[in-house]
A and B are shown apart, each in its own frame.
Chain A
Amino acid sequence: MIQDSLLSVINLRTRFHTYEGVVTAVDGLNMDIHRGETLGVVGESGCGKSVTALSILRLLPTPPAEIQGTVLFDDLNLLDLSLDEMRRIRGNAISMVFQEPMTSLNPVLTIGEQISEAIRLHQGLTRQEAWGKAVEMLQMVQISSPDMRAREYPHKLSGGMRQRAMIAMALSCRPRLLLADEPTTALDVTIQAQIVDLMERLKEEFDTSIVLITHNLGLIAEMAKRVLVMYMGKVVEEAPVEELFREPLHPYTQGLLGSIPWIGRKQKTGRRQLQEIPGVVPSLLEMPEGCRFHPRCSRVMDSCLKEEPPLVQSGEGHRVLCWRIK
């Protein structure tokens, strides 16, 4: 909180009441997003990355979900706002890009209609003005002949173009925060690079902060300034991006980085061999006691089995949730 933060999530806890029991998808999460910054959130599938984003925007149906904690945005606790006030923030001050570009546009509405709908909701423009702005946004995300594309239905657009259209929609009201939930996962590599460039450029242009949720560490290295590593609903490590890649402290982060294949890597030197993290993520219904990572950790100690580790500060902006770190 040295820099002025745009959004502070304090002790966020999201639980789902299911028939099998209560599932804690996000457990006491803290994070700060600074103005104009890109914050990366990484972790395996099911570690609570997406649920965090959905909890911030309160897009989860309650019940079965139950969201506790504080989400401060502009000195407002988003979790205290009425549904009406919340709706004014969605798409306006905070917006979101989803993982599947193929299904996130309504098949029966034209691209232009969908983007101008978002504009009209928050800016009180007439239908025509909003349409003009929608076309302008399409141009900004580098869709060729935006005039024509705006009048087309989503099935005519490729995955990459749809994701551009989604980004256009998300940025159409110049939000101050963009939650990008796996924005490039469903796209092929060359398109991924284009989308990354586009997001970087628009971030500068609109002065938008981005929370980049992904399991793609390459994308994190490319875009993010700081990184949160999540495991089973908790932040296990938080560090500036260079430091995280250079000196990961948490065994889980080390495992994640070790599991990136490098072409041309020397196979003989044991240290550089492709590693894997043994075991699988346990069910959230059977949370291990003590440190959540201990059943899969290669460096378990006695204390790991008994008690949850404390969050240890290790250098500037580098925090780790591990007993090993002093």
Chain B
Amino acid sequence: MSRVGVVVFPGSNCEHDVVAALSALGGRAELVWHAETDLSAYDALVLPGGFAHGDYLRPGALARFSPVMEAVAAAAEAGRPVLGICNGFQVLTEAGLLPGALQKNRGLTFLCQPTTLVVVSTRSVLTRAAHVGDELVVPINHFAGSYVCDDATYRALLEGDQVVLRYADNPNGSRGDIAGIANAAGNVVGLMPHPERALHALLGSADGRVLLEGFLAAADDAAASARLVAAP
């Protein structure tokens, strides 16, 4: 079975929820402290939600300098699945692993509410198990979740099939209703909604399952190919 590392910065707060969700789906997830510089033991990585380093300066701006981030970039470069949820998405954009940036919500208030997401592309480690056009109810929980980018970047995202999730009813003013994007290779994904909060009908929705199940399958694939490479 693959191993997923869930990176904990001081100020992260969704790390336990992500571990619980991946474990509930049969995955093997472990917390990794932000001072760690060797991530070779992990087949896939999650940067969870929260307020890394207090979100001081702006969300993600300090976290990109955490010691762990060089190894995260190397894992992304090597094609391993990397998922940034909420604050994790903000960190990935600040670190240059995903294009664009996340600004304060249109209404200038924090928003915690369910949203309906539309699957736009299945060419990513997060959406590979879903179908284009699927509607998924997944909550958001952020102050700075309005996705922005310049025109050239937006065109490139569209041409590269890198917009993976859009809001059906844009809550925060994101450009093009974007809720989640991937890098060109599809192995690095960031999204503002929290799929780990939509795992059980008891908690309001189980629609996040298809996303995290896809991510775990991608982690398993990465583990399998790593074993192939390692075999003489």
A joins B in a complex: no
Which chain A residues have a beta carbon within 8 Å of chain B's beta carbons? Answer: none
Which chain B residues have a beta carbon within 8 Å of chain A's beta carbons? Answer: none
